[in-house]
Amino acid sequence: MKSRRVIGALATIVVTGIALTSCSSSSGSEGDSVGEPKTGGTLAYAMGGETQSMDPANCGLVAYHRCSPVFGTLVRYDAATDTFVPYLAESFESSDGANWTLKLREGVTFSDGTPFDAEAVVFNWDRIKDPATLSAAASATNGMAWEIVDPLTVKVTLDEANFQLPWQLVRGLGAIGSPTGIKAAGAEVGNKPVGAGPFLMQEWVRNSEMKLVRNPTYFEQGLPYLDAMTIKQAGSDPQKMNAVISGEALMTPLSSTIDAEKMEDSGFNTDGGQLIGGSGVIFNYKDPTIQDAGLRNAMLHAIDADQMVAALGTQTVTADAFMPSDSGAAFPELALSEAQKLFDDYLSRTSKTSETISLTTYAGFPVMEQTSQMLQAQLQKINGLTVKIVPLDPPVLLANQRKGDFQLMTTTYQSASKDLLFDLFYTNAPQNATGYSNPTVDAALELTRSSKDAAEVAKAYEIVNTEVSRDAPMRIWQYIGAYIASDKKVQGITVVPTGSGAAWDWEKVWLN
């Protein structure tokens, strides 16, 4: 495999910078490129999971592979150089982390001719912030205000310094849609995207395929190289791999290290690395039963992560801490005798003779069901503990997660950014579904956002990793990969790590 690394491992170098670098966003591994890029052709790539909407207020955060080709992003993150680079924004700068200036490129327009200007950015951010929009990115606007300075400049003010803010312009706040197009679409905004990215959505047959064609008004001269891209709905990773092997698709993102190695052994190009986060189980600290530290630790000592990874057969490395670490961060070790001792003490303290715990999981997803059954079997090795599996459809499960209506839940969190730790573990953070609260973690996470010193930020992240691995409000058993497998005729690939897995710079890919 050409490159296997932990994506985001040096992210502190990036996020503590006070300005975007001016280097090209196409740096990094670009496959076995042969000759000069060629124009033309259609690239089909296989994806699993359909997006529900192409509304830029939502798709930028949850459907990067479909949203970004149409809308682009204000900023890009270059994993190869660990820097933020300009894209639709010309620059995004701050000297103190609290006051930021967003400069836009001159002469850029949306595909419908509407100017891509400060008014367009503010219109989109106002929509995201509006509760009526139900935007998944709304929490990113908390403590954030903005105003138009001139047609190409937006001033952003934060309640507190946050040098991690550029990540939001890569993710949920980065997809900007045409105000004209959004107003005209009305309730159909999720089906009629109008952006300034390199491609236009020509056709969308849900749960089958999405056809994208070159945007003739795209601002980068000579790009994109491709005439069109077709997104094939392929379901599971094995189905995506088969689509590439059969020639139905020319490339696909994969999350499994083992699958990426299989594709490489079959003669395909592969590249990528590991994201921050992974697959595991979360504990609801606000639940009257689960808030007992002794009970939680008993269950943590019964989890056999090696068995999980071996049975799932998707990764080669077992997660022994929330993030890979050389500083001693570690989850509680497998120790059934200690688990039983702690559980017996819990029963004695609560005057109980047994305990039943619910484990919520996704219904209709075989891997999640298998994972939950294995976890159930491991936890029930503790005498007196019964675990009931509660399968729920995804919308119901996510609603229960937001409400805190669960005890244990199998889930996956992944990101290219270490700022994910703030979202998951800072007290009362919008995405802190566990209810976890630790003053040491809070202080360290605040430092990761307020400091410009890369070494200081790196040390703070190590403190967070040590604490959340020991307490394990989310006990992951495997890290998630961000890999791309492609036919050798596909050239110009630059891996772009996202929370949706590995992507690439759409406009710079070409067919040999």
Averaged in consecutive runs of 10 residues, what is the pLDDT profile of the chain (512 residues)? Answer: 44 34 36 78 93 92 91 93 93 97 98 98 98 92 97 98 95 96 97 98 95 98 98 89 97 92 95 89 98 98 95 85 92 98 98 98 88 97 98 90 95 90 94 96 97 94 97 95 95 89 94 95
Q: What are the CA-CA distances from residue 293 to residues 168, 286, 468 (Å)?
A: 34, 12, 14
If one counts the domains in the chain, the total is 1
Q: What is the pLDDT of residue 243?
A: 96
Alpha carbon distance 260, 451 (integer Å):
37
Q: Specify the residue for token string 């039943």.
A: 356
In a domain, 10, yes or no: no
Q: Which residues pair with 387 in a beta bridge?
A: 357
Instruction: Give the model's pLDDT for residue 510.
Output: 98
Range of the domain at 388: 276-480
What counts of helices (H) and strands (E) characterise the chain? 16, 21
Helix (H, G, I), strand (E, B) or coil at 46: strand
User: Considering the domain boundaries, does residue 23 fall inside one?
Assistant: no
- Give residue 19's pLDDT: 40
Interacting residues of 419 by C-beta distance below 8 A, sequence separation 6+ = 11, 15, 164, 167, 448, 449
User: What local confidence, expressed as pLDDT, does residue 1 receive?
Assistant: 57
> Does residue 7 sit within a domain?
no
Tokens standing for 225?
A: 């190289």
Whether the link from the prior residue into 115 is cis, omega within 30° of 0, is: no
Is 421 contained in some domain? yes
**Taking every pair of C-alpha atoms in the chain, what is the biggest distance, in angstroms?**
75
Residue 283's domain is classified under what CATH number?
3.10.105.10
Residue 171: strand, helix, or coil: coil
Closest CA relative to residue 269, chosen from 42, 31, 46: 31
Q: In this predicted structure, what is the pLDDT of residue 23?
A: 34
User: β-pairing, 89-94 with 83-86?
Assistant: unpaired
Distance (Å, rounded) from C-alpha 481 to C-alpha 472?
21
Asked if the structure places residue 376 within a domain, the reply is yes
> Is 444 contained in some domain?
yes
Q: Is residue 209 part of a domain?
A: no
Query: Residue 113 and residue 276: Cα distance in Å, rounded?
Result: 39
Residue 209: CB partners within 8 Å, gap ≥ 6?
203, 230, 231, 232, 233
DSSP code at position 148: E
- Could you say which DSSP state residue 318 is in? B
Whether 429 maps to a domain, the answer reads yes
| 332 closest CA partner among 340, 345, 344, 320 | 320
